Every structure is written in structure tokens, then in C-alpha cells.
């Protein structure tokens, strides 16, 4: 006997609307955190003449990925269960120049009044077994909808360029490989991660040395900042003032 399944299109439409609204809150949460990061980046560029942020990427997990993860965790696939048990639906990855930038940026985000830090995992001080390094923050931000306020989790990953390079290639090497990885490959990947760590430490040291040299060269002289064709230039007082005095004499 053939059984026929009746499709309730009205109910399907309701489920779709509910899921869309659910995912929108995570998109809005990403927008909130991205805006904060962009403000910090611009402030550093214009005020401090240096930005610790190189690149920013963000994403919201697809419904398929969310369902797979909730089943893997052993929970019933309902929206309340998903919200409570999956904290990386919304994710942001920030790539910094130097190791010290990671913790500096983390402190700035943690100090934001409307950001609540729920969890921190430091895979830089304590790398994963395969060599993976990054600083992971789970933060909660308020999202104001038309009829309610939601508190949404966002995962923030902060890493250096070298860490990001290693993680990206490690992912590509493993992509669609479901068998056991040979020990030789695992050992080589871990060695590559250690090489990336040494590179980060060396670049950090060089960065500090150059900052000290710049301070010695500039000394106590006053420097002027000029904006020419949207490019910023730092010029010493001794270079600028003779030109200003010449213009003043010409106009008298």
C-alpha cells in the first residue's frame, strides 16, 4: 500500500520565515562587530599612524552546516537548541601584522561596553596538537529587532598573517580527505607551524627594533603630517617651516 505525504505549504512557508529571521539576527550581529572593528582600524590609521588589522573576513554558517553540527553534538534540531549550543554560527576572522597586535586588539574588543566576552581560547600560548594557532573569542552582542532585543553569539578569531597562511593551506591539504592522515604528513605540518611561529617572533623583534630606531632618528623634532592625493606623509619641521616662511614673505 502506497502512503502519500501531505505537504503543508503554509507551514513550510512559516518555517522558512522563522529560519530566515533567525539567521538574520546573526548577520546583524556580524554587522555590529564588523562596524566596531572598522572603527578601531580607521582610528589607528588616522590617529596612531598604524593599524594592527591587516584583513577581516566574516561569514554566517549555512543552514545545512548548522543542522549537521547540531546532529553531531547530539541535540534536537530546533532553533532554541541551535542558539544555545552552537556559538560559531556567526564568525569573524581578523588577521593582524604582529603577535602583540593580537592581544592589543583583543583587549580593545573586550573593553567595549556592549560586548560581553563569554569564552576565550588561546591557541597561541597553547597550540593544538596539529600546530594550529589563533586566539578565539566568543562574544555576545545585542541585536535590536523591530519587536525584541536578541543577544547573539559571535566567534572572533584573531591571528597573524603567518598563522593564517598555515591554517588556510592546512585546510586545503585536508579538504575532502576522509581517511587517516599519515604520520609523516602530520609531523611535517606541525613542523611548518613551528616555522611560522619562529617567523612571527622574528618579525615582532624586527618591528620593535625599527620603532626604536625611528624614535632615535626623529628625536625631539616636531613632525608634520600631510595628506597628498589621499596618501599620508610625515615630514620634519625643518623641511616644512622654510617653505612656510617663504610663502609668508611672498604674500607680504
Instruction: Provide the percentage of residues in the chain whose pLDDT is more than 70.
Output: 81
Residue 177: pLDDT above 80? Answer: no
Section 59-83 average pLDDT: 93
| Chain segment 225-249, per-residue pLDDT in tens | 666 666 666 666 666 666 555 555 5
Which of 1-15, 87-101, 171-185 has the lowest average pLDDT?
1-15
CB of 124 within 8 A of CB of 180?
no
Which string of DSSP letters, residue by residue, matches 119-177?
A: EEEETTTS--TT----EEEEEEEEEE-SS-EEEEEEEEEEEEHHHHHHHHHHHHHHTT-
Cα(68)–Cα(64) distance, integer angstroms: 6
Question: Using CA atoms in the order 182, 184, 190, 195, what is the torsion angle rounded to 10 degrees?
Answer: -150
Residue 110 is placed in which grid cell? 573586550
Which string of DSSP letters, residue by residue, matches 178-216?
A: -SPPPHHHHHHHHHHHHHHHHHHHHHHHHHHHHHHHHHH
Section 89-98 average pLDDT: 96
Fold for the domain defined by 9-161: Beta Polymerase; domain 2 (3.30.460)
Prediction pTM value: 0.79
Our separate counts of H helices and E strands in the chain read 7, 7
Domains of the chain by residue range: 9-161, 221-252
Residues assigned a catalytic role: 155
Residue 14: pLDDT above 70? Answer: yes
Section 76-91 average pLDDT: 93
Mean pLDDT, the chain, integer: 85
Q: Which pLDDT score is estimated for 250?
A: 59
Cα(149)–Cα(114) distance, integer angstroms: 13
Residue 131: pLDDT above 80? Answer: yes
CB of 239 within 8 A of CB of 226?
no
Amino acid at each position: 500500500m502506497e502512503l502519500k505525504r501531505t505537504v503543508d505549504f503554509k507551514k513550510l512557508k512559516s518555517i522558512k520565515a522563522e529560519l530566515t529571521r533567525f539567521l538574520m539576527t546573526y548577520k546583524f550581529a556580524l554587522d555590529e562587530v564588523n562596524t566596531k572593528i572598522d572603527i578601531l582600524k580607521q582610528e589607528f590609521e588616522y590617529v596612531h599612524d598604524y593599524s594592527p588589522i591587516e584583513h577581516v573576513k566574516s561569514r554566517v554558517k549555512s543552514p545545512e552546516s548548522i543542522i549537521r553540527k547540531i546532529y553531531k553534538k547530539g541535540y534536537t534540531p530546533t532553533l532554541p537548541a541551535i542558539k544555545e549550543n552552537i556559538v560559531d554560527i556567526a564568525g569573524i576572522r581578523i588577521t593582524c601584522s604582529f603577535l602583540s597586535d593580537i592581544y592589543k586588539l583583543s583587549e580593545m574588543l573586550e573593553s567595549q561596553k556592549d560586548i560581553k566576552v563569554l569564552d576565550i581560547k588561546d591557541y597561541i600560548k597553547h597550540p593544538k596538537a596539529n600546530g594550529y594557532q589563533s586566539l578565539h573569542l566568543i562574544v555576545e552582542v545585542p541585536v535590536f529587532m523591530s519587536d525584541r532585543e536578541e543577544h547573539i553569539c559571535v566567534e572572533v578569531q584573531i591571528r597573524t598573517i603567518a598563522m593564517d597562511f598555515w591554517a588556510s593551506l592546512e585546510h586545503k591539504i585536508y579538504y575532502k580527505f576522509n581517511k587517516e592522515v599519515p604520520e609523516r604528513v602530520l609531523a611535517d605540518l606541525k613542523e611548518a607551524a613551528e616555522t611560522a611561529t619562529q617567523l612571527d617572533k622574528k618579525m615582532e623583534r624586527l618591528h620593535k627594533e625599527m620603532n626604536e630606531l625611528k624614535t632615535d632618528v626623529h628625536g625631539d623634532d616636531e613632525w608634520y603630517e600631510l595628506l597628498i592625493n589621499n596618501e599620508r606623509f610625515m615630514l620634519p619641521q625643518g623641511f616644512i617651516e622654510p617653505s612656510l616662511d617663504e610663502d609668508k614673505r611672498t604674500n607680504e
